[in-house]
Amino acid sequence: MKPSLRRLAIYCGAATPPDPRYIELARDVGSELARRDIGVVYGGGRLGLMGALAQGALDQGGEVIGVIPHAMVEREFANHDCTQLITVDTMHQRKAHFTDLADGFITLPGGMGTMDELFEALSWAQIGYHENPVGLLNAFGFYDDLVQFVNRMADTGFVRATHREILQVADNLPELLDKLASYTPNTPIYRMSADQL
């Protein structure tokens, strides 16, 4: 593991699906990251996968930094047990903090907000706003259709060949962490010539 992976931003939902595997997965991810001395940066919530992720890391003595908008704190969704809880005004500020605080990203199963976070991390890497690895934990085949769609975007030319490998995918955390640790940043759009675009 490269020492540069000191903290990872983990994207996941605040929902609690009926299938208990998803909560267990989030808790296990938090625990494993803490055991590897990798800090967790996440959405700062205490519910659903978010809460399970944070609890898993905290139970192992790990660092957990939550970033949450004021509106969600006011509705008592915030996890005040975090090592550090940062409150912001907007969702955009929240995602900017994720990028500033973390050395990479992992997306767990989630909904619309999780997809928003994942695709912003991908598009920012493509443009060159950051050079951090972006991982997708495809546990239980949850993201099979999404991976197929991303491949279709590349096959049809909407994602450039050099950017096809920005998204690192694995169905288990150890393999995904290995991929993130060995990731080589792509050539961002801002450094491409006109004939490459």
Average pLDDT over every residue of 19-40: 98
Q: Reply yes or no on whether the pLDDT at 196 is more than 80.
A: no
Q: Reply yes or no on whether the pLDDT at 191 is more than 70.
A: no
Average pLDDT over every residue of 116-144: 94
Q: Reply yes or no on whether the pLDDT at 3 is more than 50.
A: no
Domain 7-196 falls under CATH 3.40.50.450? yes
Average confidence score pLDDT of the chain: 91
pTM over 0.85: yes
Structure tokens at 168: 């690192």
Q: Reply yes or no on whether the pLDDT at 186 is more than 80.
A: no
Beta bridge partner(s), residue 167: 134
